[in-house]
Amino acid sequence: MTSTNAHDLPETGASNVNGLRVLLVEDSWQVAAALKLSLEASGAEVVGPAATAGDPARLISERTIDVAVGDLLLRGGEPAYGLIDHLHDQGIRIVVLTGYADLPLNLGKVAAVLQKPVQEPELLRSLRLAIQQRM
């Protein structure tokens, strides 16, 4: 699976995500730590990581989230489809990260689908696109 619309953003303008509050949903501690460091270095405020689909509900209720980034399959193989629906219903766009090529996904509910391992510039472009789609 490749990214959807991630390359539509021009390279000009902000190369960071300063001030964005990003919900991070990832069950792998190593991947979550790397993503969190990368996003924070690019200016984002990272909320999480959350390792299950149920964890983000509390995080969302405690603060405003601008955009989410997360894995499609979480701890114990739990699919994130319900979480994607919940975030969509809350008006929060999500950039999905996955290591799988063929998973059923309603592309209208996500800002982008990126194949793991994701490159930082592609992730940042996708997050900026997600915010633009929300406006």
Please report, in tens digits, the pLDDT of each residue of the chain (135 residues total): 334 433 443 343 445 799 999 999 999 999 999 999 999 999 999 999 999 988 888 888 888 999 999 998 899 888 888 999 999 999 999 999 988 776 666 678 889 989 989 999 999 999 999 998 876
H-run or E-run covering 45: strand 45-50
Domain layout of the chain by residue ranges: 18-134
Q: 21 forms bridges with which residues in the sheet?
A: 45
The fold of the 18-134 domain, in CATH, is: Rossmann fold (3.40.50)
Q: Are 111 and 94 in contact (CB under 8 A)?
A: yes
The SS3 of residue 77 is: helix
pTM of this structure: 0.85
